[in-house]
Amino acid sequence: MKRIQSVPRLAAVASAVTLGFAVQAPAGAQETFRVGVVSFLSGQAAESFGIPAVDGAKVLFEAFNAGQAPAPYDKKGFGGLTIEPIYVDEAGGATKQVQELKNLYDREKVDAVVGYVSSGDCLAVAPAAEEMKRFLILYDCGTPRIFEERDYEYVFRTAAHGAMDNVSLGRYLKAIDMKVGSINYINQDYAWGHDSQRDFELTMAQLYPEAKKQQDLRPKFGAGQYGTEISALLSKPADVTHSSLWGGDLQAFILQAAPRGVMKRSQVVLSAGDHVLPGLGDKMPDGVILGARGAYGLMSPDTPLNRWWFDLYEKKYGVYPVQAPYRMAQALLGLKLVVEKAMAANGGKKPDSAQLAAALKGFEWESPAGVIRMANGNGHQAIQETAIGRTKYDPEKKRVELVEIRRFPAECVNPPPDMKAEDWIKSGFKGAKC
């Protein structure tokens, strides 16, 4: 009897061992790739930039892990590695962000970090990642200084910098043969506003040397009340009024300026205005010329990849994707291909930071907004095509459409690899291919 009893016991042990191995084998296959995603989840940049970008990341990670993205992004996860995102709030200033970045690498053991909207944060975290020799993708911030002031090995930016936005605005005015004899400016009183205005001024000095600057207004970030600035704009109406305002500031400016007739008396041009269109709806005046810091949202190209991404986001969140989720998407699509490329070179094993950096340097890939090429900054800074359009409210669709869209190739509105943006504009866009 004992023998008989021992047979099932042995079988049970054997089954358990077999099952153990069976469970262990897929566990190896289900190794994860941990990605730190840093963007504004609170504060004034959250609504316009941080939360839409993180929403974009979430919907993309879901699609990647389910293997539902179109080719060449159709492998599950990153080359079979399940993606495990960790989201971090960018609010709190540059010093806090450096500490958070170190925590992500050291405590959370992330394999890559994708993040940062604020140029100040980008300038602070890039040297920290470089010092730690850890892989970092800056997906959004606009300052040209990052790769113009020093070289990096582990740091990349997968979106064009801010010079493109203002060069393309100037080129658009020229392309539609607009007569510009005077320009007013209203830009926020911090680095983004100053840099944007400088790039537009330099561009207009090349394209419209006769145009004179009139009002030069610098409201503080988060001002909210623009009544006095609007009076100043109306007291000296110019042919063109340039602004790089964004988020709540831009929404407030439009809501206050439109009823007072600013948009009727001057051609308003916004370097980064697309993200306020879904919210403002019919409160957005017709005829405003604006950019999206890329060929994003309603100006994105009609490609299968873009249709998939646009529908994926719109179905999930009930609103179409604007610039912030597009820039996040192009970073993550690039990261996916780079991880898979580095894995292939590493015998199918998960790559380390140095291998990821080597794979991304000088890489190019198709994004929903067109081809992204890591052509500048010694292969670490992306260039991309962009588009500018004009607002027109469509009462049937109940949304603002962009019409008279003009597209500009990457080499037309971005500096060549060996030149700083400012020098390039001052040189009369030397080597530009339009």
Partner 1 sequence: MLLLTIFVDGVVYASWLFIVALGLTLVFGVLKILNIAHGSFYALGAYAAASFVGWFASLGLAPAWSPVAMLLAAVAVAAVVAPLTERGLLRAFHGRDEVLLVLVTYALFLILEDVTKLIWGATPYYVTEPYMLFGTVEFGVMSYVGYDFVLILVAVVCGLLVWWGLNRTRSGKIVLAVIHSEEIASSMGVNVSRIYTFAFMVGVFLAALGGALTAPMLSVQPGLSVGVIIVSFAVVIIGGLVSIEGAAIGALIVGFARALAVHTWPDAELFSIYVAMAAVLVFRPQGLFQRMQARKI
Check residue 189 for interaction with partner 1 (CB under 8 A): yes
- The verdict on 31 binding partner 1 (CB under 8 A) reads no
CA-nearest of 305, 274, 258 to 390 is: 274
Task: Show the binding pattern over residues 240-259: x = contacts partner 1 (CB under 8 A), - = does not.
Answer: --------x--xx--xx--x
Which amino acid would we find at residue 229?
Answer: E
191 binds partner 1 (CB under 8 A): no
Q: Does 279 help bind partner 1 (rule: CB under 8 A)?
A: yes
Could you tell me which of 315, 282, 279, 277 has the C-alpha nearest to residue 296? 277
3-class secondary structure, 372: strand
In the bound complex, what is the minimum distance in angstroms from residue 54's beta carbon to partner 1? 11
Q: Is 142 in the site for partner 1 (CB under 8 A)?
A: no
Task: Please report how close the Cβ of residue 91 comes to partner 1 at its closest, in angstroms.
Answer: 10
By CB under 8 A, name the one of 18, 30, 99, 231 that touches partner 1. Answer: 231
Q: How many CA atoms lie within 13 A of 45 on its CB side?
A: 22
- 283 binds partner 1 per the rule CB under 8 A: yes
Q: Cβ of residue 426: shortest distance to partner 1, in angstroms? A: 23
Q: Does 93 bind partner 1 (CB under 8 A)?
A: no
- Give the binding range for partner 1 (CB under 8 A) out of 104-112, 128-136, 233-241, 347-355: 233-241
Cis peptide before 72 (omega within 30 of 0): yes
By CB under 8 A, residue 227 contacts partner 1 = yes
Angle (CA) 266-268-271 rounded to 5° is: 160
Q: Which is nearer to partner 1, 205 or 223 (CB)?
A: 223
* Identity at 303, one-letter amino acid code: T
Asked if 51 touches partner 1 (CB under 8 A), the answer is yes
3-class secondary structure, 59: helix
Token pair belonging to 122: 């980008």
**Biggest CA-to-CA distance, the chain:** 107
Task: Give the integer Cα–Cα distance in Å for 401 and 391.
Answer: 6
Query: Residues in contact with partner 1, total (CB under 8 A)?
Result: 36
Three-class DSSP category at 396? coil
Q: What minimum distance in Å lies between the beta carbon of 402 and partner 1? A: 20
56 binds partner 1 (CB under 8 A): no
C-alpha closest to that of 181 among 260, 267, 253, 261: 267
The yes or no reply on residue 362 touching partner 1 (CB under 8 A) is no
**Of 172, 201, 174, 176, which is closest to residue 187 (Cα–Cα)?**
201
Contacts to partner 1 by CB under 8 A: 42-44, 46-47, 51, 189, 215-220, 222-225, 227-229, 231-232, 234-235, 237, 248, 251-252, 255-256, 259-261, 279-280, 283
